[in-house]
C-alpha cells in the first residue's frame, strides 16, 4: 500500500492537542462556515475544473505532480517525469498517464524537454493547476488567519503560485512519509472519492452552519439543478450522491433544495477533519513565512 492510500501514522501529541484546542475556539465554526461557502462556490475558470480535480485520485495525481516539480526545482529531487509520478499516485500507470494527457490538453500541465536528453519530458504544473489544487489549502490557512485574527494574514502570501506550490510540496512530503490526513475520516473520504463529492459535502455543511452559526454566510442553493450546474456534472450524478447520503443517514435535502437534517456525527467528523487540515497547513505556512521574511 502506497502512502496516499493509508491513514497517517505517528501523529505527534502536539499536533493532536493543537487540533483539539482549535475546535474549542469561539470563532472556529464561523471560520469553517466561510471555508465551506467558498469551497463550494463556482470554479474560478471556465474549463471543467471540478470534474477534473474534485475527485480524490485525480486530486492526488495533481498534488503529487506539483510535489515532484517543486522538490526537483528547490531541493534537487529526482526529475519530475511521468514515471516518477506513476510511482506515488496510488493508481495504475495507465490511469495516471491518461490523466496527465488530459491535463496537458487543458493547459494545466506543461511538458518541458530535458536539455541533456530530449527523450525525457519534465512535467511542470501550470499556475492554474497549482491555484486550483491549492484552493482548499489557501482557504484553510485563511480560516486560521481569521481564528487567530492575524494581521497581515498569512494566507495573503499564497497569492503567489510558486509559494502555494512550495506549500503543497511540503504537505505532500508529509503524506509520503506518514500517510494521509483523510483516511481517518471515512465519511469525508467517501465524498472525496466521488466526482464533486467533497464540494457537495462542503455545500451541505455550509448550509448547516448558515442556520446554526450567527454571522455565517447564506447557504448556497442545494437543488439538483443548481448543484449540477455549479459542479459541472449531471443531475443524475448529484441525485445519486444525495440519495446515498440519505440512505446512510448522513443528511437529507427536501423540496426546493432545503437541508432538512444533517447528522451530528457527520458534522463532528467534518469539524475534526478541518481541525487537522488547519493545523497541518498552518504549521507548514508558518515555516514558509519565516523563510520569506
DSSP annotation of 7: B
pLDDT at 116: 85
Nearest CA among 280, 215, 290, 211 for reference residue 251: 211
pTM equals: 0.94
Number of domains, the chain? 1
pLDDT at 24: 95
pLDDT at 114: 87
Nearest CA among 148, 162, 140 for reference residue 69: 162
Nearest CA among 270, 250, 265 for reference residue 206: 270
258 found inside a domain? yes
pLDDT at 291: 75
Q: Which segments of the chain have a pLDDT < 50?
A: none
The secondary structure of the chain in percent helix, strand, coil, rounded to multiples of 5, reads: 65, 10, 25
* Rounded Cα gap, residues 30 and 24, in angstroms: 12
281 found inside a domain? yes
148 found inside a domain? yes
pLDDT at 42: 75
107 found inside a domain? no
Beta strands in the chain (DSSP E): 109-114, 117-125, 251-253, 259-262
pLDDT tens digits, one per residue of 115-136: 888 888 999 999 999 998 999 9
pLDDT at 87: 93
121 found inside a domain? no
Nearest CA among 35, 15, 38, 218 for reference residue 141: 35
21 found inside a domain? yes
Q: Structural domain of residue 228, as residue ranges?
A: 14-41+135-167+182-292
4 found inside a domain? no
269 found inside a domain? yes
pLDDT at 44: 65
List helix spans (H) across 213-256. Answer: 224-231, 235-248
Strand partners, 7: 180
Amino acid at each position: 500500500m502506497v502512502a496516499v492510500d493509508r491513514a497517517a501514522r505517528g501523529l505527534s501529541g502536539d499536533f493532536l492537542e493543537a487540533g483539539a484546542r482549535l475546535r474549542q475556539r469561539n470563532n472556529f465554526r464561523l471560520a469553517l462556515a466561510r471555508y465551506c461557502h467558498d469551497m463550494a462556490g463556482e470554479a474560478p475558470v471556465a474549463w471543467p475544473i471540478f470534474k477534473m480535480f474534485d475527485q480524490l485520485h485525480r486530486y492526488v495525481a495533481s498534488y503529487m505532480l506539483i510535489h515532484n516539480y517543486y522538490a526537483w526545482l528547490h531541493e534537487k529531487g529526482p526529475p519530475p517525469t511521468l514515471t516518477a509520478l506513476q510511482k506515488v499516485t496510488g493508481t495504475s500507470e495507465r490511469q495516471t498517464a491518461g490523466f496527465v494527457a488530459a491535463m496537458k490538453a487543458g493547459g494545466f500541465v506543461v511538458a518541458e524537454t530535458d536539455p541533456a536528453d530530449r527523450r525525457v519530458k519534465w512535467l511542470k504544473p501550470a499556475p492554474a493547476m497549482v491555484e486550483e489544487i491549492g484552493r482548499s489549502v489557501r482557504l484553510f490557512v485563511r480560516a486560521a488567519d481569521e481564528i487567530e485574527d492575524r494581521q497581515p494574514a498569512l494566507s495573503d502570501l499564497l497569492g503567489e503560485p510558486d509559494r502555494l506550490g512550495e506549500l503543497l510540496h511540503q504537505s505532500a512530503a508529509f503524506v509520503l512519509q506518514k500517510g494521509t490526513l483523510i483516511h481517518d475520516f471515512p465519511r469525508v473520504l467517501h465524498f472525496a472519492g466521488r466526482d464533486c463529492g467533497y464540494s457537495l459535502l462542503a455545500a451541505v455543511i455550509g448550509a448547516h452552519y448558515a442556520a446554526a452559526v450567527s454571522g455565517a454566510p447564506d447557504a448556497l442553493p442545494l437543488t439538483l439543478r443548481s448543484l449540477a450546474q455549479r459542479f459541472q456534472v449531471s443531475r443524475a450524478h448529484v441525485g445519486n450522491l444525495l440519495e446515498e447520503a440519505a440512505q446512510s443517514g448522513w443528511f437529507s435535502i427536501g423540496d426546493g433544495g432545503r437541508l432538512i437534517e444533517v447528522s451530528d456525527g457527520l458534522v463532528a467528523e467534518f469539524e475534526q477533519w478541518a481541525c487537522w487540515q488547519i493545523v497541518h497547513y498552518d504549521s507548514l505556512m508558518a515555516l514558509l513565512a519565516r523563510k520569506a521574511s
